[in-house]
Structures are given as structure tokens and as C-alpha cells.
């Protein structure tokens, strides 16, 4: 081998070595694509990227955000957002009888304010006039609508993978209930109590409500399903005549007990009273249109058909 050829080989080797040691140029970080969605008020809402500073104006929204893993992206909550426990330390922006504190919402510098049907269009407009982005999430009318809401919030928060896993789990749980309910012929009549401030005309939930949906899916029939209004009082006379086999106390949190129901004049002839089938029920599992509706379904199915759901 000539000296010249050996020298060229050495140069080539050094060149390869230097190339290997040279740091590679990092690939540029892709810019997130803008997100454009139509909300429940038929408005086109645009986010430049997934929201990172979110204020929730409804307990159901807060539960959705935490369920899909976006809880750490929340910077504020409404007064009624008490679940999960991790939400409680977040600053409250009001939402009780005194309304929302707009100054508190602005001070949190949110890139998304997530509203719900408990909020009026006027409230949405007032917050939007402060230069903030507000998305109005409509209540679902069925479980498919719940799944779509989860997907919508996931898209706005960059949590699509987590939402996909959650939805698959919820569907599996619902299927486990409906498969056991399907062959049953016995569908007990159910009275769901919301407010018995006036025990002669207590408020209940009619057709088109989450309560009505859960009662049906859990294998019962809602004795108030023929009411003209979804939320309305039912007369004690009608209730006694219907004689429901099961009474669920959504107002148990306010001190109503099975014993106090049994003591109501005229109620002693009701089937549920005679057979001790009066149960306290966590109304948050039936009134908040979030993923815990499935918890409510499972709990209700166990009460309506204890022999099937042991």
C-alpha cells in the first residue's frame, strides 16, 4: 500500500468519525393545528392550540375535565364543583346565588372558559365581551351524547387518547348492565324525589331528564314519565295512586330519610313504603351530565334488581 493511499484512507476515516460526532440538527417542533368547533349555542369557537388554562363554570364540566386527565389544566372552578377532591383547592369564581365573579375569571387569565346549560346565553356573552374564549357545552340527552361531549372536551384540551380509553371503559360498563336487564320482564315503578319541601306536591323528574333515562336503562319505569314538564311537582294523590315499588330519595342530602317518608300522611299504602324499598340516592350521579352518570346507572340497577346485581 502506497503512503499516499494510506493517507487518503486516514482522511476518509477521520471524516466519518467527525461526521458521527457532529450533533444532529433537531427536527423542528410542529406547530399545533388550530381547533375549530361549533358549541351548543351554534357559535364557531376557535382555539389556536389545546387549552392549558381552563375555568369550568359547571360541576359536570369539572368532572369531565378530570376524568379525561385535563384536571391539571384547570385554573378555576365554579362554586358547586366539589368532585373530584382534587378540584377543591382550585380558586372558585362563584356560581351560587350571587352569580359569577367576572373579575375573578379574568384574573385567572384562562385561554378557555367552559360553560354548560346551567349558564345562560347572557352570561356567556358577558364573559366573551371580556375578551375571553367561551365554549358552551350542551347537556347530552343520552349516553351517546355524553360520549360525544367527552370527545369534544378532549379535542379542546389535547386529551383525545385518554378520552378514548375512558369512553371504551364506560361503554363496557353500560353493556354489562343492559345485558343483565334485557331478559327481565319485571320493571318496577320508580318514584325519584328531588325536593319534598311540600310533601303534598314534591318535585320529581319526568321524561327527557337524566333521571328518566337512568331509570329506564336500569330496568324500571318512571311513574312521572308522562308529566308535561321534565321537572315538576307531582301531587301526593297521583303518587299514592301510582303506588311505586321503589322510592329513590335524590333529596337525601337535604335530610330526607326513609323514616321521614314513611311518616307522611297517606303514604302508608304505597307499595315501596309497605315493603321498605325506600333508598337514599346520590343525586349528583343522576343530575350531573358527566361520566359519573354510568356510576348512577350501576347504583340504580343494583337497587331496582338486587337479585341480578349482587
* 3-state class (DSSP) for residue 138: coil
Q: What is the pTM of this model?
A: 0.87
User: How far from the centroid of its chain's Cα atoms is residue 279's Cα?
Assistant: 24
Domains and CATH numbers, the chain: 35-171 (3.40.50.1980), 184-304 (3.40.50.1980)
| Average pLDDT of span 253-270 | 96
- Kindly give the pairing relationship between strand 203-205 and strand 112-116: unpaired
- Cα–Cα distance between 305 and 310 in angstroms, integer? 9
- Please give the C-alpha separations between residue 78 and each of 61, 99, 118, 235, in angstroms, as whole numbers: 10, 10, 11, 34
pLDDT at 20 over 90: no
Mean pLDDT of the chain: 91
Is 36 or 28 the better-scoring residue by pLDDT? 36
Looking at residue 15, what is its pLDDT?
A: 53
Amino acid at each position: 500500500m502506497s503512503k499516499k493511499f494510506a493517507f487518503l484512507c486516514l482522511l476518509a476515516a477521520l471524516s466519518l468519525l467527525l461526521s458521527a460526532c457532529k450533533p444532529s440538527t433537531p427536527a423542528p417542533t410542529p406547530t399545533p393545528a388550530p381547533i375549530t368547533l361549533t358549541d351548543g349555542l351554534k357559535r364557531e369557537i376557535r382555539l389556536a392550540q389545546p387549552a392549558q388554562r381552563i375555568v369550568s363554570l359547571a360541576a359536570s364540566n369539572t368532572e369531565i375535565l378530570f376524568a379525561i386527565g385535563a384536571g391539571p389544566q384547570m385554573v378555576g372552578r365554579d362554586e358547586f364543583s366539589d368532585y373530584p377532591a382534587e378540584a377543591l383547592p382550585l380558586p372558585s369564581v362563584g356560581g351560587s346565588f350571587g352569580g359569577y365573579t367576572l373579575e375573578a375569571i379574568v384574573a385567572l387569565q384562562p385561554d378557555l372558559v367552559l360553560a354548560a346549560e346551567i349558564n345562560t346565553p347572557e352570561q356567556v356573552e358577558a364573559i366573551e365581551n371580556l375578551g375571553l374564549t367561551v365554549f358552551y357545552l350542551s347537556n347530552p340527552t343520552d349516553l351517546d351524547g355524553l360520549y360525544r361531549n367527552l370527545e369534544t372536551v378532549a379535542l379542546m384540551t389535547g386529551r383525545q387518547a385518554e378520552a378514548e380509553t375512558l369512553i371504551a371503559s364506560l361503554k363496557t360498563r353500560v353493556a354489562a348492565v343492559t345485558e343483565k336487564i334485557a331478559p327481565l320482564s319485571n320493571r318496577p315503578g320508580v318514584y325519584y324525589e328531588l325536593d319534598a319541601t311540600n310533601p303534598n306536591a314534591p318535585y320529581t323528574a319526568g321524561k327527557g331528564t337524566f333521571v328518566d333515562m337512568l331509570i329506564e336503562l336500569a330496568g324500571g319505569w318512571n311513574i312521572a314519565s308522562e308529566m308535561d314538564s321534565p321537572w315538576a311537582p307531582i301531587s301526593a294523590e297521583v303518587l299514592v295512586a301510582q303506588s311505586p315499588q321503589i322510592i329513590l330519595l335524590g333529596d337525601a342530602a337535604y335530610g330526607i330519610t326513609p323514616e321521614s317518608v314513611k311518616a307522611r300522611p297517606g303514604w302508608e299504602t304505597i307499595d315501596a313504603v309497605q315493603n321498605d324499598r325506600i333508598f337514599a340516592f346520590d343525586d349528583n350521579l343522576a343530575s350531573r351530565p358527566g361520566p359519573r352518570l354510568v356510576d348512577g346507572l350501576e347504583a340504580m340497577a343494583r337497587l331496582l334488581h338486587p337479585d341480578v346485581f349482587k
